Structure 1
Amino acid sequence: MKKTALLIFLFLQVLVFSQTLGSKLDKQTLALGEPGIFRIHIAELQGKDVQSAPKNELLPFHFEEIKDSISKQVDTYDRVIEFAVFEEGKFTIPSLDFKINGKVFKTIPYDVEVINTAQKGDEINDIMKNKEVKLDVQDYWQLYKWYILGTLILIAIVFLIYQLIRYGKRRKSSPIVMTNQTLKELDLLKKKKYIEDGNYRLFYVELLDITRNFITKQYKIPANVLLTDDLIDVIKLNNTISPENERIIEDIFLRGDLVKFAKVFPDQQNMQTDFDQMKTFVKRSSRDLEDEQLRTGV
């Protein structure tokens, strides 16, 4: 009898002082996006601490928690989670851990089936009607300012590149640059010592080639493709080259043709004079172009 009474006493003590953990899912079949409610209740706490996953982090992936409320009293603990699932299929709420005064208790697992109740042809109504918002200039600026600024910067970069290329071409083809380049070519011709060696044929061939190239680029006259007589006629009709320079070109080109065809044999003095005259013509070419610009008003 004493043993029986002792067992009954211990059983009642367990019933009185042990905690009970319960959980409940209101629906196990949900429509797509339909809210469901999952409840956890713990009784007989007797002021003991309860530890679980933080708010909005209790349920696993796929369960979008809408609301998570916790209520704890001295003897009870209640947690209510409202959730929704936005994918069709079968999902599981697994056993969830709740630690009570250092001891782990688990809920039972639940299977949830999510179905799409919408049918083809169903009318879909917005929850709220779209509101028409009027935008002013400031609003449009805030929306598109980076596109506008980016476009302006791109245009500025393209314009700058164009101007640099144009400036570079203009510099390379400017009268002063062309004059200096031709003077260097004449100096190189001088260093070949054709005059000192009496090599008059090569001297005049190269001198006329340098001059033809110079006239073509400096005066925009196609001297490199014209015969001597035709070139002289074009120069006289063009009126860009001064009369003094016209005479120098005419004398040297006619003498050069005679030398190339072995009809004239110039001496060193004549060769040096023609070289100096041609160098003078090149140096004075810039003045010819300046006079032409004043004459035409460019």
Structure 2
Amino acid sequence: MKKISKKIKIFFFFLLSVLAFGQTLSSNLSKDKIALGEKVTFRVSVNNLKGRDVISMPKNELLPFHFEETKDDISKTFDNYSRTIEFQIFDEGKFTIPPLEFSINGEVLKTIPYEVSVYNPVNADDQPNDIMNNKEVELGWKDYWETFKWHFMGALVVIALLFVFLGMFKNGVFRRNRKEEFPIHKTLLELKNLEKKRYAENGNYRLFYVELIDITRAFLTQQYHIPADVLLTDDLIDLMKHTNKISSENEKVVEEIFLRGDLVKFAKTFPTKELMEKDFREIYDFVERSTVDIEAEHLREVH
């Protein structure tokens, strides 16, 4: 009996310790079935912090792509942390809020997933009713002139401007440097502009990977003539593996960074500044050495 009593005391002591020192994370979604553009509130709270810091995605970047955030308020006291997000969705269908991570002194807590259904409240079968029947009015040429004179004058201005631009183009005013027309030089310029935005230093993981992958997709489409701008990541990787256009080294770089970018965009991983800089440099080097792939493709076509 004494042994059983001792075990009960130990169990209650352990339970009280968890309740006293553990943090509690909770989340709430105000509605899971909404109309197009309707505002919905999503709340996350963490209790029993005892002064500990809470780390999560930056403001206005917590929810996935389709969720248009209109408000993101964060408040914190010594014991409590709360985050209230107001959002809208402008596409019909079902969308998921995945488990979201909140780090507290190295311990990662996750919210439960939510599914949101979006519907169009407008009934396409409803027909508007006129208040009264339309009246027919006879118009003279003066009435037509007053109605359409500005359209006529605007058309003349457009035609005149067209002749001016054609003359300027003919004289070489709009001719760009031939170097800028090649996909490699254009893409390297876009990558340098991305680097100037300093997303890695500011911790803007999501924007960094969204823009880096968009630039790379456009380059793959122009340089290798594959539909990278419309394919999903998995389909694009599969296509690259079954074509000889891209070297295995370059293919590996694109695959790893695209997969990591998808995880970051959906808040499933938090990359370090060093990892973001490494991914940027590898894409930059890939673009520079892509000429080797193109030369190899030309040789295969010749033989």
> Structure 2-normalised TM-score?
0.41
Bigger RCO (CA 8 Å, 6+ sep): 2
Q: Which has the larger radius of gyration?
A: 1
> Structure 1-normalised TM-score?
0.41
